[in-house]
């Protein structure tokens, strides 16, 4: 399971990079080939919204409550937690382990 999640996380990072590259390409096309109000409206609205949703490095004021980078960070933490049994233990299991009680499932 861990290997599948690691591959999925790598792919998500690739997707983020691809989306940022496509946004930069759209920005260049609009700026160079159309310019004026067409470009300014796109830059001020949908280009900004999409970039803010993908990364914290966007150059605009404000941000997103949960952007792509936040999701990647949560996924990385989830992946790390798979190796930490305490991350998935119930409060009772944690208390039993701290007290040195034997594991009930160990037979």
Checking if the pLDDT of 103 tops 60, the result is no
**Containing structural domain, residue 60:** 2-98
The answer to whether position 28 is within a domain reads yes
pLDDT for the residue 10: 97
How many domains in the chain?
1
- Tens digit of each residue's pLDDT (9 = 90 or more) over 69-102: 999 999 999 998 876 666 556 677 677 767 765 5
The answer to whether position 35 is within a domain reads yes
Q: Name 40's Cβ contacts closer than 8 Å, sequence gap at least 6.
A: none
pTM listed for this prediction: 0.72
The answer to whether position 103 is within a domain reads no
**Looking up tokens 């499932």, which residue turns up?**
105
- Tens digit of each residue's pLDDT (9 = 90 or more) over 16-68: 999 999 999 999 999 999 999 999 999 999 999 999 999 998 888 888 899 99
């Amino acid at each position: 399971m861990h290997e599948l999640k690691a591959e999925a996380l790598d792919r998500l990072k690739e997707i983020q990079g691809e989306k940022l590259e496509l946004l930069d390409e759209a920005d260049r096309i609009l700026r160079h080939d159309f310019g004026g109000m067409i470009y300014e409206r796109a830059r001020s609205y949908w280009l900004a919204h999409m970039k803010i949703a993908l990364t914290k490095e966007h150059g605009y004021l404000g941000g997103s409550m949960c952007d792509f980078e936040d999701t990647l960070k949560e996924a990385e933490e989830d992946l790390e937690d798979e190796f930490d049994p305490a991350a998935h233990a119930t409060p009772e299991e944690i208390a039993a382990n701290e007290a040195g009680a034997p594991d009930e499932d160990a037979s």
